[in-house]
């Protein structure tokens, strides 16, 4: 069956697959789902409100497919602890975005890990397309920040393992927590529940802080001293030659991916990451 909608394929919602979620659902009897933020190969991401906190807050909820969680190791302590220690010592906004906590939710397709994250701005992948390009001044600023982030990560003994434009996000200048759900709808637009012409509402209420980047999605990260001998999880466009030919992983592979990111950000040809 062909699938041309910008959403995950319905076949992923079978037993062991994605968690069936709709706006208005409550995840783990705690998080009220308000809007869909995105999806990936093994998870969907939702804007939700934490209803158990005295002062409710908005969070990004990453809900992992049932089978994938059973087969994967998510954010092991040997990876998370050095990064979390760095974040505690350097204040906010964070350079490395780690899960705030995790909960579990059971659906008809199985048991799902739900990772709770702060709400961020868009990923760089969505800001550097054939229709919209970053100003050169932003590219230079972003390149400096990314080089610093990768150098810091490697100094802490951690390799990202999936360093792509999809896993680099922009911090928001302001928190969402002061906004009502109606105001959120004005920013995100009402959820689409059937096939429609895509509509991106203007947002005059919230602007990304375009000078501050952060690194996200450490689910494939590993310690330098325990680098796995396997094909990397990054898309083939970002694969380092040594990983392709000898399955070697480590800091040089992250640096290769960084070079690919620099090339895409500074080039009008974005086919390197989209084809």
Q: What is the pLDDT of residue 174?
A: 76
Q: Which of 59, 76, 60, 37 is nearest to 187 (CA)?
A: 37
For residue 14, give the DSSP letter: S
pLDDT of residue 18: 94
State pTM to two decimals: 0.82
Domain ranges within the chain, ordered by starting residue: 120-174+201-275
Q: Do 71 and 110 meet the contact criterion of CB atoms below 8 Å apart?
A: no
What's the pLDDT band for 130 if we cut at 50, 70, 90?
Answer: low
Could you tell me which of 181, 172, 185, 161 has the C-alpha nearest to residue 122?
172
Cβ atoms of residues 62 and 117 within 8 Å: yes
CATH fit for domain 120-174+201-275, picks 1.10.510.10, 3.20.20.70, 3.30.1490.100, 3.40.50.150: 1.10.510.10
pLDDT for res 8: 81
Condensed to tens digits (0 to 9), the pLDDT of residues 245-263 reads 998 999 999 999 999 999 9
Residue with tokens 């920013």: 187
Alpha-carbon separation of residue 220 from 173, 216, 232, 273 (angstroms): 28, 11, 9, 19
pLDDT in tens, 60-119: 999 999 988 665 556 677 888 999 999 988 866 689 999 999 999 999 999 999 999 999
Annotated binding residue 62: yes
Q: What is the mean pLDDT of the chain?
A: 83
pLDDT in tens, 154-178: 999 999 999 999 999 999 877 788 8
């Amino acid at each position: 069956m062909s699938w041309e909608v910008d959403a995950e394929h319905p076949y992923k919602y079978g037993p062991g697959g994605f968690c069936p979620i709709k706006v208005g659902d409550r995840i783990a009897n705690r998080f009220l789902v308000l809007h869909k933020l995105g999806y990936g190969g093994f998870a969907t991401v939702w804007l939700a409100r934490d209803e158990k906190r005295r002062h409710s807050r908005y969070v990004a909820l990453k809900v992992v497919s049932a089978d994938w969680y059973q087969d994967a190791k998510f954010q092991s302590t040997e990876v998370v602890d050095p990064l979390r220690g760095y974040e505690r010592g350097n204040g906010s906004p964070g350079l490395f975005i780690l899960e705030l906590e995790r909960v579990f939710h059971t659906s008809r397709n199985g048991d799902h890990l739900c990772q709770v994250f702060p709400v961020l701005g868009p990923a760089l992948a969505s800001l550097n397309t054939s229709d919209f390009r970053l100003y050169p001044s932003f590219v230079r600023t972003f390149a400096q920040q990314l080089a610093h982030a990768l150098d810091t990560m490697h100094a802490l003994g951690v390799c990202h393992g999936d360093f792509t434009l999809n896993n680099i996000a922009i911090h928001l200048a302001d928190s969402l927590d002061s906004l009502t759900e109606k105001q959120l709808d004005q920013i995100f637009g009402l959820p689409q529940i059937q096939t429609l012409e895509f509509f991106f509402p203007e947002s005059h209420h919230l602007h990304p802080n375009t000078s501050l980047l952060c690194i996200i999605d450490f689910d494939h990260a590993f310690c330098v001293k325990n680098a796995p001998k396997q094909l990397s999880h990054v898309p083939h466009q970002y694969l380092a030659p040594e990983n392709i030919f000898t399955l070697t992983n480590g800091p040089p592979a992250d640096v290769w991916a960084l070079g690919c990111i620099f090339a895409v950000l500074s080039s009008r040809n974005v086919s390197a990451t989209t084809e």
